[in-house]
Amino acid sequence: MPHQTSLKTVKRSNEPFWWALFSAGGVIAALCVPVLLFMTGLAIPLGWMDAPGYEAMYTLFENPLSRLVILVIVSLSAFHWAHRFRFTLYDGLHLKHLNAPVAFFCYGCAILFSAYAAYSLYSF
């Protein structure tokens, strides 16, 4: 490996870790969020769709599989938000010099939210 010496001097970024979560969350959010948001937030409250009763929702969420799906959706989407919002602040407001606190805040929120989601979905 003739290039090994020069390799020592460069610092590989850890960005791929967050970027992978961002991308996975982006796909999940793009696929799932519009339809869910439209149904639970607009169509049902506005009466365009029949409101599923409490019993039906309870049975649905009682199934661990549906809770697992929800956990995947909410936590990956949260990481998607964290990464994207972090860069929105950097780009939109020239905040690159606040790299550490901004990253800490964004990823911190996503981690705490995911932990809370995991806990509350587990103890449904």
Partner 1 sequence: MSYGRYKKNHPWLYHKKPPLLWWVKKWAYVRFILRELTSLGVAFYVVVLLTYVNAVSQGPEAFAVFSDWLKSPLSLGLHGIAFIFVLFHSITWFNLAPKAMVVHLGKKRIPGRIILIMNYSMWFVVTAGFFWLLTTV
Partner 2 sequence: MNHANTTTTIDLEVYRYRPELETEPTFDTFTVPLRSDWVILDALNYIKDEIDGTLSYRWSCQMGVCGSCGMMANGEPILTCASFLKNYAPGPIRVEPLANFPVARDLIISMDDFMEKLNRIKPWIIVEEEKPLEEGEYLQTPEQLDEYKQFSMCINCMLCYSACPIYGMEPSFIGPAALALAQRYNLDSRDHGNQQRLDILSTDDGIWQCTFVGECSEVCPENVDPAGAIQQYKVASTNDWWKSKLMPWGNKK
CB 29 within 8 A of CB 80: yes
Residues 16-35 vs partner 2: string with x where CB under 8 A? xx-xx--x------------
The answer to whether the Cα torsion of 76, 87, 116, 55 is positive or negative is: negative
- In the bound state with partner 2, the residue whose beta carbon lies nearer, of 20 and 36, is 20
Q: What is the DSSP letter of 123?
A: T
Distance linking the first and last C-alpha atoms of the chain: 54
- In the bound state with partner 2, the residue whose beta carbon lies nearer, of 3 and 46, is 3
- Interaction of residue 70 with partner 1, rule CB under 8 A: yes
Q: Read off the amino acid at residue 111.
A: I
- Interaction of residue 34 with partner 1, rule CB under 8 A: yes
- Interaction of residue 77 with partner 1, rule CB under 8 A: yes
Q: What is the DSSP letter of 98?
A: G
Residue 117 Cβ vs partner 1, minimum distance, rounded to whole Å? 5
